[in-house]
Amino acid sequence: MHALVTGASGFVGGRLARRLRQQGEQVRCLVRNPDGAAARALAQGGFELHVGDVLRPDTLAGAGQGVDVAYYLVHSMGRGGDGSDFAEQERRAAEGFARMAKQEGIGRVIYLGGLGDRPGSKHLRSRHETAKQLEAHGPPLTYFRAGMIVGSESESYRTLRYLVERLPAMIAPAWLSTKTQPIGIDDVLSYLSQAPHVEASAGRELQIGGPDVLTYGQMLDAMALALGKRPRPKIPVPFITPWLSSLWIGLVTPVDTDIARALIEGLSTETVVTDESARQLFDIQPAPFEATLRQALAEDREPH
């Protein structure tokens, strides 16, 4: 199989490219800047590169030639790179990519979006709109939807860890009680990499999650225990806004404030699996949250 991976310089895309190659697939990575550190690392690792930008459809010509399946793993996390509305940017990018994929004969597009019905978050709504554009203008779509993805490079995981490590106590906004269903990065990669070989996953929306449904507060406590610390006392402040929460997180962690705001706004919506179709189609048993935390922490401690 010949796969095209967008977002290969990112957390999920980079790991997926390596997983696919380990499985014996041919992998082409879409990169915007061939001189950037991430692109150079991919080239040195033996990956085929296509230089292009999903916001500039003319640069995508040829990216899909000879490709069987394309992975669309691009999203802005709430940031408009040119000052424009990020949701409109994401809509245009998805439409342009989908049209290229169809014109160049790609057999399937696989997209990873977010869970949550009727989300109050503009970020989550935009990710769902991306799936609609890919479906409307491109080849058959496999649309995976996940909540928090646990891995050492995940912004959600990093936020959890920094909050626990840096604060002896923390404020407790209402969103700490919102339920989510986290899933480990290795299990996400298993779903993504197996999908091209599961015919029944074509043209489907598939919700994926781990076995544990937890509140953000419970995940903070689990992180504390995994770090060998006592769970942090939480001071109830139910009316704090997502904007203030993101500023607070930006102050006490290295996480970018725009990214923090997108994450916090998403926590107003429950991100829990309501359709078990994915588990019926795939022979995957997702790891528990505590196991995925331990693995991410172990990776963090490895010398880079």
- Extents of the domains making up the chain: 2-150+183-209+271-286
- Decide if 214 contacts 289 (C-beta within 8 A): yes
CATH of 2-150+183-209+271-286, one of 1.20.1250.20, 3.40.50.720, 2.170.150.70, 3.40.50.2000: 3.40.50.720
Count the neighbouring beta carbons within 10 Å of the beta carbon of residue 35: 8
Q: Which residue has the higher pLDDT, 232 or 277?
A: 277
State the pTM of this model: 0.91
Pair of tokens at residue 92: 């245009």
Quick: pLDDT tens for 101-132: 999 999 999 999 998 876 566 777 888 899 99
**SS3 category, 84:** coil
Residue 74 has pLDDT above 80, yes or no: yes
Q: What is the pLDDT of residue 155?
A: 84
Burial class (CB in 10 A: 0-12, 13-18, 19+), 108: buried
DSSP string, 86-135: HHHHHHHHHHHHHHHHHHTT--EEEEEEE--SS-S-HHHHHHHHHHHHHH
Nearest Cα to 16, choosing from 155, 192, 143, 141?
Answer: 192
- Kindly indicate the confidence band of residue 76, based on its pLDDT and cuts at 50, 70 and 90: low
Contacts 24+ apart (CB under 8 A), 276-280: 276/207, 277/204, 277/206, 277/207, 278/144, 278/191, 278/206, 278/207, 278/208
Q: Minimum mean pLDDT among 54-68, 206-220, 263-277: which range?
A: 263-277
